[in-house]
Amino acid sequence: MILEFSKTIEHFELTPTEARLFAYLYLKQEALTLDQMSEDLGNSKTAMSNSVRFLESTHLIQKVWRKGVRKHLYMANKELYKSFIQSYKSKWLDMIHHQLEALHFLMENIPEGSREGELAEQLQTIIHFHKDLQETFRLIVDE
């Protein structure tokens, strides 16, 4: 069941290890330590730590606190749709931000004589497209 579920999760740009770990935590329905995850899935603690860091940064899993437990515990975020939408929204906004920086850099470095020409107009059109796209993604409501 974990393997089949993880195949679906991989389509959301997760590595096979990340997808398997998320599927495992989602189906396990309890908070686990890195040691438990590593032992149960047969991966190194380092691989689990890297996967946990990424999955936590995308809000697919969360760190939880339990009285009397000194090690970090993690569990899957049960709100899958919201998690995936938030993750994709963040990725798109980051990508658009980096593209806009690069496009503005190009615009600033167009030779003086070309700033009024067709190249500058095309670049302005591309920048405008990215700004519209950025605004569209910002309007996506986190439900």
Single residue among 51, 76, 101 that ends a domain in this structure: 76
Q: Are 20 and 65 within one domain?
A: yes
pLDDT at 141: 59
130 and 85 assigned to the same domain: yes
Q: Which of 30, 54, 76 is the last residue of a domain?
A: 76
Domain enclosing residue 8, as ranges: 2-76
Whether residue 59 sits in one domain with residue 123: no
| pLDDT interval class at 142 (50, 70, 90) | low
Q: Per the structure, how many domains does the chain have? A: 2
Digit-coded pLDDT (tens) for 86-116: 777 888 889 999 999 999 999 888 877 766 7
Phi, psi of 69 (to 5 degrees): -105, 120
- Of 25, 18, 11, whose CA–CA distance to 88 is shortest? 11
Q: Do 114 and 126 sit in the same domain of this protein?
A: yes
Rounded to an integer, what distance in angstroms lies between the CA atom of residue 36 and that of residue 33?
A: 5
The answer on 100 and 68 residing in a single domain is: no
How far apart are alpha carbons 101 and 111 in whole angstroms? 18
Do both 84 and 27 map to the same domain? no
Q: How far, in Å, CA of 33 to CA of 48, rounded?
A: 10
Portion of the chain with pLDDT greater than 90, in percent: 45
Averaged pLDDT for residues 11-34 = 89
Q: How confident is the model over 44-74, as pLDDT tens digits?
A: 999 999 999 999 998 889 999 888 888 999 9
Q: pTM here?
A: 0.59
